[in-house]
Chains A and B, each alone.
Chain A
Amino acid sequence: MKMLRQFISLGTCNVSATGIRHGIRKELLIITHQRNVSGVPASADRLEDKPAHTQHGKFEILQQKPVTNKPFAKDLFLGKFDKTVLVYPEISDRGELAELNQMVQHIERYFTESLDSKSIDINAEISEDVMNHLGELGLFGQQIPQEYGGLGLNATKYARLAEITALDGSIAVTLAAHQAIGLKGILIAGNEAQKQKYLPKLATGEHIAAFCLTEPSSGSDAASIQTRAVPSEDGKTFHLTGGKIWISNGGIADIFTVFAKVNITAENGEKQDKVTAFIVERNFGGVTSGKPEDKLGIRGSNTCEVHFDNTPVPAENVLGEVGGGFKIAMNILNSGRFSMGSSGAGILKKLIGLTTEHAISRMQFGSKLCEFKLIKEKFAKMAVTTYAMESMAYLTAGIIDMYEKPDLSVEAAMVKIFSSEGCWMCVNECLQVLGGQGFMKSNPYERYLRDARILMIFEGTNEILRLYVSLTGLKHAGQELKELVGKLRDPLNNPRLVFLQLWNRLSGKVREKPKLTLRLNEEVHPSLKNQTDILEECTLQFQRMVEIILQRHGNKVVQEQLELKRLSDICIDLYAMTACIGRASRAYCLGLRNADHELLLTKAFCHEANARIQQNMTALREGKTKNNDDTYMAIAETMFQNKGYAAEHPLTVNW
């Protein structure tokens, strides 16, 4: 307990006794993460065990970031739960937080007072004035380091600003296409010269960036692109030829990150086409863009075709290595997704605010709308979804900020899936509360609904991302479970093991409540014990299910998309529960305003998530013959054979 007193005297947190506890756990979190890097097992149980502080009483450790984290979501597939993730991250520096709040306040003012989002939508264009102003505000260089003229925001701060910029879908997408993907390649794979040359003008918005990957025949399957880059004989120039479609900012960008195939000779002498990333300036020549696409939503953002006709690109504009482009493309996309959670939450908080005002004032049948239970339920469910979305987004951003090279692509994908779908659902519900008024263009609901639709499609469709989540998790688990699964799939040589597994399953042990061994409830406020128990139980059930699925399908699991989807959905709910519980516990310990409301939101979410998880578990346990999957497949096959709806018209007779 010596450490405890030191923590208190350091004044990490002087709000209340429980607040101090939270502060301490946060410090421990950082320390234990650090320890994991050096290979020492984490144990948050023994305070005395922690590394020493310097004589000044400050932790040296906090000065530099550890390299990478234990992959939380991937470990869930093994039933391993990194308890430190239950300690919700925060910005501990008061000044930094004040500065962030000030930024938020100023942009919020611009977005709510001066910006005419309605005409951006109608005119399908963001005016030059607005673009210039966004540039002056500094919104084009949010994550560009300060030495290159940007704001140098970390993931948490970027996510916070995204809440505001999301209030205009067209602007949000223009900004994201510019910096979350367009120039991200230069940030993560560019060399010093490339950074020096391109970042300063991109940071001010003088230059706009675009990300050119998608082609007519290559959507989700990014490795199949046809655009080619041919090196000149002296090797100093590549000539780029090919067409890209649906490029956000394609018509207004000055700098493009372009992916093209280069024919290279591999080490074994074989010739191969490999994806390579290039930084292409519009004025290199041979770059043309089509007319802006007319879209359902985010209408003001510029989307068009971009063609490269023998465009000469100097070899020094290759991003990373020749042939290393696919990995760069995936890294760019993986690193940008986390902020969609806070964007979605930003939109929903605004719309829920507008909708509550309507519900409080609108009278029908002699009562206000807000007195009807059907309406109340809608609001409560929206709040629960928004809370989970926000909690996941800031948990993910918080962990990203703790490490040099964070491993969070699975978490980011989960945030994207959950928040894009939650956003669509909740905007739809807000519109429903307004009824006919919501359907009219004079209100912003229909615009937000149209704008939200793209979230489920771009930056990786939710279907692809679901497969990514479960396959990445299974791959991680498979490496560790290789031996077990191998033996189980070979019953003749391992009769005893297989028999025991079978016995366990037949005797119902798998179906029973697993024994809780992780003691997650010790990490959070006692009032959340039931929720941590649910989380733990589901995690352990999940682990068993992963073993069963691997045993059932082995390497062929890749084909079982419906089962993969269910595993992903379970994993998303587990992660969302973790985020909600951690956040609510922090809020309650610190005594934030309406902290008891947060507890209720978390309780409601865990209940919903548990119900979904159990449904998915049942379907997985039953297998495709019982759970309707086979029936669906048969129906679909008939439809494709008939090229459409195959049932005869109800009025058909055959006599």
Chain B
Amino acid sequence: MSALRVLVGCKRVIDYAVRVRVKPDKTGVFTDGVKHSMNPFDEIAMEEAIRMKEKKLASEIIVVSCGPIQCQETLRTALAMGGDRAIHVQVDGKEYEGLQPFHVSKILAKIAQEEKVDLLILGKQAIDDDCNQTGQMTAAILDWPQATFASKVEIDNGSLKVLREIDGGLENIKVKLPAVVTTDLRLNEPRYATLPNIMKAKKKPLTTKKPSDYAVDISPRQEVLSVEDPPVREAGQKVESVEQLVQKLRDAGLIVS
């Protein structure tokens, strides 16, 4: 089989090192003036695609991001890492707040078909909403096989051998191409984009699209009722003896009397 055309999803999320703050009206978290970067799992996806290209297993890497104009910075990073061209599906403001894996997967599926890609690599989840749905939904829409939580990927004559991280341990599966792969943490260690490549990335093509270009309706299907801080851990109590401890646990209804 000839070299693959690979599509990689790159979501722009609040940087993992930032302490997230909930807005006072509980509609979401503060994003203005907050440092953003590429979703770490998407970086792993990007790295995997680049390694395929370096081994001449992939011919072209297309990167895509859905969201506000700033997503173009994330896409430039992906191009600097080694992507060939980028597609930015612009979704702004209120609409972006309501954008869910349900919508994104439809958009990704459309792009995958239009660009005739053989392999779609996505992060297993984004670190902001932790949905862990987009890869699976996209595979369903395309009716392609899916290999989620990949910890090792090998291309083997028109199919993929994927080592998956599952609850009980590891699982080896083989899927036929075209397929959707979602990356787990241990798949690889993403590279740093170098400064010369960042400069070269400026010249790589980046097209801007709208969801309507792909005939995808992005009206929200769910409503966020409230976003709240995790409960603050309460101070512990000291007890003098085992008897007292048992008594307290009993009073709290935590052990059967």
Do B192 and A99 touch across chains, with their CB atoms under 8 A apart? no
A113 to chain B, nearest CB (A): 9
Which of B196-204, B209-217, B235-243 is found at the contact surface with chain A? Answer: B196-204
Most chain A Cβ neighbours within 10 Å, of B33, B77, B195, B199: B195
Do A105 and B194 touch across chains, with their CB atoms under 8 A apart? no
A515 part of interface (Cβ distance < 8 Å): no
B30 to chain A, nearest CB (A): 12
Which B-chain residue is minimally distant from A142 (CB atoms)?
B195
CB-contact partner of B195 in A98, A101, A109, A151, under 8 A:
A151
A490 part of interface (Cβ distance < 8 Å): no
A103 part of interface (Cβ distance < 8 Å): yes
Do A138 and B196 touch across chains, with their CB atoms under 8 A apart? yes
Do A151 and B37 touch across chains, with their CB atoms under 8 A apart? no
Do A102 and B80 touch across chains, with their CB atoms under 8 A apart? yes
B161 to chain A, nearest CB (A): 31
Do A138 and B195 touch across chains, with their CB atoms under 8 A apart? yes
Contact A99 B202, CB 8 Å, known A105-B37, A593-B33: yes
Do A106 and B198 touch across chains, with their CB atoms under 8 A apart? yes
B193 part of interface (Cβ distance < 8 Å): yes
Q: Cα distance A98–B69 when bound, in Å?
A: 12
B76 part of interface (Cβ distance < 8 Å): yes
Which residues of A474-506 are within 8 A (CB) of B? none
Do B73 and A136 touch across chains, with their CB atoms under 8 A apart? no
Which residues of A85-128 are within 8 A (CB) of B? 95, 98-99, 101-103, 105-107, 109-110, 114
Do B192 and A109 touch across chains, with their CB atoms under 8 A apart? yes
Q: Cα distance A110–B191 when bound, in Å?
A: 10
Do A99 and B198 touch across chains, with their CB atoms under 8 A apart? yes
A-chain residues with CB within 8 Å of residue B73 when the two chains form the complex: 98, 101-102
B-chain residues with CB within 8 Å of residue A133 when the two chains form the complex: 192
Q: Cα distance A109–B192 when bound, in Å?
A: 8
A464 part of interface (Cβ distance < 8 Å): no
Interface size class of B (residues with CB under 8 A): 10 to 19
B-chain residues with CB within 8 Å of residue A98 when the two chains form the complex: 72-73, 76
A137 part of interface (Cβ distance < 8 Å): yes
CB-contact partner of A102 in B33, B196, B198, under 8 A:
B198
CB-contact partner of B199 in A99, A110, A139, A593, under 8 A:
A99
Which B-chain residue is minimally distant from A105 (CB atoms)?
B37
Q: Cα distance A357–B198 when bound, in Å?
A: 33
Which A-chain residue is minimally distant from B76 (CB atoms)?
A102
Which A-chain residue is minimally distant from B36 (CB atoms)?
A105
A105 to chain B, nearest CB (A): 7
CB-contact partner of A106 in B33, B72, B193, B202, under 8 A:
B193
A154 to chain B, nearest CB (A): 13
Which residues of A178-223 are within 8 A (CB) of B? none
CB-contact partner of B192 in A106, A142, A151, A593, under 8 A:
A106
Q: Cα distance A138–B198 when bound, in Å?
A: 10
Which B-chain residue is minimally distant from A101 (CB atoms)?
B73
B-chain residues with CB within 8 Å of residue A101 when the two chains form the complex: 73
B-chain residues with CB within 8 Å of residue A138 when the two chains form the complex: 194-196
Do B194 and A136 touch across chains, with their CB atoms under 8 A apart? yes
A-chain residues with CB within 8 Å of residue B193 when the two chains form the complex: 102, 106
Q: For the complex, count residues of A whose C-beta is within 8 A of B.
A: 21
A147 to chain B, nearest CB (A): 13
Do B76 and A151 touch across chains, with their CB atoms under 8 A apart? no
Which B-chain residue is minimally distant from A139 (CB atoms)?
B195
B-chain residues with CB within 8 Å of residue A593 when the two chains form the complex: 33
A-chain residues with CB within 8 Å of residue B199 when the two chains form the complex: 99, 146, 151
A-chain residues with CB within 8 Å of residue B33 when the two chains form the complex: 593
Which residues of A399-455 are within 8 A (CB) of B? none
Which A-chain residue is minimally distant from B72 (CB atoms)?
A98
Q: Cα distance A19–B194 when bound, in Å?
A: 35
Q: Cα distance A615–B195 when bound, in Å?
A: 47
Which B-chain residue is minimally distant from A593 (CB atoms)?
B33
Contact A106 B195, CB 8 Å, known A95-B202, A99-B202, A593-B33: yes
Which residues of B61-102 are within 8 A (CB) of A? 72-73, 76-77, 80
B188 to chain A, nearest CB (A): 15
Q: Cα distance A14–B37 when bound, in Å?
A: 27
A165 to chain B, nearest CB (A): 11
A-chain residues with CB within 8 Å of residue B195 when the two chains form the complex: 103, 106-107, 137-139, 142, 151
Which B-chain residue is minimally distant from A98 (CB atoms)?
B73
Which B-chain residue is minimally distant from A146 (CB atoms)?
B199
A-chain residues with CB within 8 Å of residue B80 when the two chains form the complex: 102, 106
Q: Mark B19-52, 1 if CB is under 8 A from A, else 0.
A: 0000000000000010001000000000000000
Q: Cα distance A137–B193 when bound, in Å?
A: 7
A-chain residues with CB within 8 Å of residue B72 when the two chains form the complex: 98
Do B192 and A110 touch across chains, with their CB atoms under 8 A apart? yes
Q: Cα distance A106–B193 when bound, in Å?
A: 7
A132 to chain B, nearest CB (A): 12
B98 to chain A, nearest CB (A): 27
Which residues of B161-203 are within 8 A (CB) of A? 192-196, 198-199, 202
B190 to chain A, nearest CB (A): 10
Which B-chain residue is minimally distant from A100 (CB atoms)?
B198
Which A-chain residue is minimally distant from B32 (CB atoms)?
A593
Do B192 and A137 touch across chains, with their CB atoms under 8 A apart? yes
B-chain residues with CB within 8 Å of residue A139 when the two chains form the complex: 195
Contact A137 B76, CB 8 Å, known A99-B202, A151-B199: no
B203 to chain A, nearest CB (A): 11
Do B196 and A151 touch across chains, with their CB atoms under 8 A apart? yes
A-chain residues with CB within 8 Å of residue B196 when the two chains form the complex: 138, 151
Q: Mark B199-238, 1 if CB is under 8 A from A, else 0.
A: 1001000000000000000000000000000000000000
Most chain A Cβ neighbours within 10 Å, of B72, B73, B80, B194: B194
Q: Cα distance A593–B33 when bound, in Å?
A: 8
Q: Cα distance A4–B22 when bound, in Å?
A: 42
B127 to chain A, nearest CB (A): 15
B-chain residues with CB within 8 Å of residue A137 when the two chains form the complex: 192, 194-195
B86 to chain A, nearest CB (A): 14
B-chain residues with CB within 8 Å of residue A109 when the two chains form the complex: 192
Q: Cα distance A107–B194 when bound, in Å?
A: 8
B-chain residues with CB within 8 Å of residue A142 when the two chains form the complex: 195
B216 to chain A, nearest CB (A): 28
B242 to chain A, nearest CB (A): 32
A-chain residues with CB within 8 Å of residue B37 when the two chains form the complex: 105
B76 to chain A, nearest CB (A): 6
A-chain residues with CB within 8 Å of residue B77 when the two chains form the complex: 102, 105-106
Q: Cα distance A98–B80 when bound, in Å?
A: 13
B-chain residues with CB within 8 Å of residue A95 when the two chains form the complex: 202
Which residues of A135-168 are within 8 A (CB) of B? 136-139, 142, 146, 151
Which residues of A584-606 are within 8 A (CB) of B? 593
Q: Cα distance A120–B202 when bound, in Å?
A: 34
A-chain residues with CB within 8 Å of residue B76 when the two chains form the complex: 98-99, 102
Which B-chain residue is minimally distant from A150 (CB atoms)?
B196
B61 to chain A, nearest CB (A): 18
B-chain residues with CB within 8 Å of residue A106 when the two chains form the complex: 77, 80, 192-195, 198
Q: Cα distance A136–B80 when bound, in Å?
A: 13
Do A103 and B192 touch across chains, with their CB atoms under 8 A apart? no
B69 to chain A, nearest CB (A): 10
A243 to chain B, nearest CB (A): 37
Which B-chain residue is minimally distant from A136 (CB atoms)?
B194
Q: Which residues of A are in contact with B by a Cβ distance under 8 Å? A: 95, 98-99, 101-103, 105-107, 109-110, 114, 133, 136-139, 142, 146, 151, 593
A-B contact pairs, 14 of them (CB 8 A): A98-B76, A99-B199, A101-B73, A103-B198, A106-B192, A109-B192, A114-B192, A133-B192, A137-B192, A138-B195, A146-B199, A151-B195, A151-B196, A593-B33
Q: Which residues of B are in contact with A by a Cβ distance under 8 Å? A: 33, 37, 72-73, 76-77, 80, 192-196, 198-199, 202
| 10 pairs of A and B residues whose beta carbons are closest in the complex | A138-B195, A138-B196, A137-B194, A106-B193, A138-B194, A103-B195, A103-B198, A110-B192, A102-B198, A136-B194
Given contacts A98-B72, A106-B194, A151-B199, 6 further A-B pairs with CB under 8 A are A102-B77, A106-B77, A106-B192, A106-B193, A114-B192, A137-B192
